[in-house]
């Protein structure tokens, strides 16, 4: 993509947004939006919908839904108007063409659609006749500032207080490439790099339902920790680390979404088959570090230590193909088992168990001694192996990330030098090539 051109988002009338940039730096990364923050936009949205037909019944509130989701679900248009096929950024003379009106994902910031787009530099007077180079793809989050003012404000706020505060770019972080308001539709667009094969969560759901090989996990966690280390060195806190927010591009390039570039890839097809399981799209909330989870609603925000905890949770997602638990208590039982036995469960949940049986089984295993099965061949998580085996180094790094007390967790920079990342067998380049070969082979099936 051409040199990044990031512009400060502006309101439809051309004025820059007041107040949001005046928030102290430390608060920008830790503070959640309050009802007062969106009160003005809420009133406007109510007035705009006054003459529209009301929905027949209100949707039940998801207990893991935060205030941004609630306000968007309550006041955003129930029949969103699709964006135009072409979106134009006057300043950079870039034209973006939406490849399909079916979104490939959803931004959690108000459930805004994410589209795959092709782009080209061109003469604005004749861009409809341009030939787009379809090897140049990107993703665009699009929200109409008039029809969905709350979603627009939330996205703008996330961009200003997170992405635009980063002093440098990093190869492991999905950065905002462009942001602008389309001259015709007044659609507000945020453009980021193309997600390639999608998120790790969507890839595992289709091709690695029982988890990834440990060598692949090491490759991924190194990239994730590289991104986290970069953010922490820049005084930024992520707060939403999960397998669903790590994306695989060709190369392979593994990038973690941050701020406005976080989106759920293919979320329409990733709903858990069991209604009793906690939603994986909200995993960073119900699986948050104990100090964050237990103080929720008391202005106890995310920290560097809680980010490290989420890296451990992400490692478990990669190891088992996801974390399907019925409640927070089942997760805590699992973490305590890891610390007490110094081992990871052989499979989670155990084969043939329902979610209702999960917690009982975990409790029994904590009381017993368990047995650690060691096998030589690598498990590719395709269901061919009844039990998974993990190296002592992997089990150790997971346990360290999931230390119950935040001050006992290592920093992201310390974890980058962990013995788990000592290359065994293949060198780094061979491992990357092998990862891409296996992934491409699975995607073709």
pLDDT of residue 169: 87
| pLDDT tens sequence across 113-141 | 999 988 877 655 555 555 555 546 788 88
pLDDT of residue 350: 54
Which residue has better confidence, 125 or 387? 387
* DSSP structure class, residue 37: T
Which of 15-29, 87-101, 109-123, 337-351 bottoms out in mean pLDDT, i.e. has the lowest?
A: 15-29
Domains of the chain: 20-37+48-193 (3.30.200.20), 198-444 (1.10.510.10)
pLDDT of residue 100: 86
Which residue has better confidence, 269 or 240? 240
CA-CA-CA-CA torsion sign (383, 389, 391, 397): positive
Give the rounded percent of residues in the chain with a pLDDT score beyond 90: 36
Which of 5-19, 140-154, 274-288, 294-308 bottoms out in mean pLDDT, i.e. has the lowest?
A: 5-19
Residues in the chain: 445
| pLDDT tens sequence across 150-181 | 888 999 999 999 999 898 889 999 999 889 99
pLDDT of residue 289: 96
Q: Is the pLDDT confidence value at 146 over 50?
A: yes
Q: Is the pLDDT confidence value at 311 over 90?
A: yes
| pLDDT tens sequence across 425-442 | 566 777 777 777 777 777
Residue that the structure tokens 């209100």 belong to: 58
Q: Which two tokens stand for residue 334?
A: 């699992």
d(Cα 418, Cα 402) in Å, to the nearest integer?
15
pLDDT of residue 220: 94
Q: Which two tokens stand for residue 242?
A: 């999960």
Residue (of 177, 205, 240, 195) closest to 104 by Cα position = 195
Strand partners, 105: 114, 265
Q: Is the pLDDT confidence value at 64 over 50?
A: yes
Which of 50-64, 102-116, 344-358 bottoms out in mean pLDDT, i.e. has the lowest?
A: 50-64
d(Cα 255, Cα 197) in Å, to the nearest integer?
12
Which of 17-21, 277-281, 304-308 bottoms out in mean pLDDT, i.e. has the lowest?
A: 17-21
Which residue has better confidence, 30 or 312? 312
Q: Is the pLDDT confidence value at 25 over 70?
A: no
| pLDDT tens sequence across 210-222 | 999 998 999 999 9
- In terms of phi and psi (left: phi > 0; alpha: psi -120 to 50; beta: otherwise), the region of 396 is alpha
pLDDT of residue 69: 54
Q: Is the pLDDT confidence value at 360 over 60?
A: no
Which residue has better confidence, 360 or 219? 219
pLDDT of residue 24: 37
| pLDDT tens sequence across 244-277 | 999 998 778 899 999 999 999 886 544 444 457 7
d(Cα 397, Cα 400) in Å, to the nearest integer?
5
Q: What is the mean pLDDT of residues 83-91?
A: 81
Contact (CB, 8 A) for 112 and 143: yes
């Amino acid at each position: 993509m051409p040199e990044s051109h990031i512009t400060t988002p502006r309101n439809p009338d051309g004025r820059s947004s007041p107040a949001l940039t005046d928030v102290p730096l430390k608060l920008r990364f830790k503070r959640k939006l309050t009802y007062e923050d969106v009160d003005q936009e809420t009133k406007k949205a109510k007035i705009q919908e006054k003459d529209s037909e009301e929905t027949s019944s209100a949707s039940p509130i998801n207990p893991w839904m935060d205030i941004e989701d609630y306000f968007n679900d309550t006041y955003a248009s129930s029949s969103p108007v699709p964006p135009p096929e072409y979106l134009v950024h006057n300043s950079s003379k870039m034209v973006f063409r939406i490849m399909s009106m079916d979104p490939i994902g959803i931004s959690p910031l108000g459930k805004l659609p994410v589209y795959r787009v092709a782009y080209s530099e061109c003469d604005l007077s004749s861009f409809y006749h341009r030939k787009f180079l379809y090897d140049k793809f990107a993703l665009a989050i699009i929200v109409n500032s008039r029809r969905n003012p709350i979603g627009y404000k939330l996205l703008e706020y996330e961009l200003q207080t997170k992405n635009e505060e980063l002093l440098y770019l990093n190869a492991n972080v999905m950065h905002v490439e462009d942001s602008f308001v389309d001259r015709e539709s007044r659609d507000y667009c945020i453009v980021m790099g193309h997600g390639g094969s999608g998120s790790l969560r969507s890839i595992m759901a289709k091709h690695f339902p029982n988890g990834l090989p440990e060598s692949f996990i090491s490759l991924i966690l190194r990239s994730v920790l590289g991104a986290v280390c970069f953010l922490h060195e820049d005084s930024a806190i992520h707060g939403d680390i999960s397998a669903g927010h790590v994306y695989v591009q060709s190369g392979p390039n593994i990038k973690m979404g941050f701020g406005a570039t976080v989106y759920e890839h293919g979320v329409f097809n990733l709903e858990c088959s069991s209604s009793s399981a906690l939603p994986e799209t909200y995993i960073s909330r119900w699986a948050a570090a104990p100090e964050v989870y237990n103080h929720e609603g008391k202005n106890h925000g995310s920290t560097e230590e809680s980010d490290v905890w989420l890296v451990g949770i992400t490692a478990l997602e990669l190891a088992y193909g996801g974390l399907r638990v019925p409640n927070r208590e089942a997760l805590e039982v699992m973490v305590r088992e890891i610390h007490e036995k110094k081992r990871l469960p052989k499979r989670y949940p155990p084969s043939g168990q329902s979610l209702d049986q999960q917690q009982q089984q975990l409790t029994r295993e904590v009381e017993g001694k368990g047995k650690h099965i060691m096998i030589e061949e690598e498990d590719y998580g395709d269901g061919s192996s009844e039990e998974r085996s993990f190296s002592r180094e992997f089990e150790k790094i997971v346990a360290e990330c999931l230390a119950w007390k935040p001050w006992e967790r290592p920093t992201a920079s310390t974890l980058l030098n962990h013995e788990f990342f000592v290359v065994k067998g293949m060198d780094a380049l061979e491992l990357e090539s092998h990862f891409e070969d296996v992934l491409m082979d699975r995607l073709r099936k």
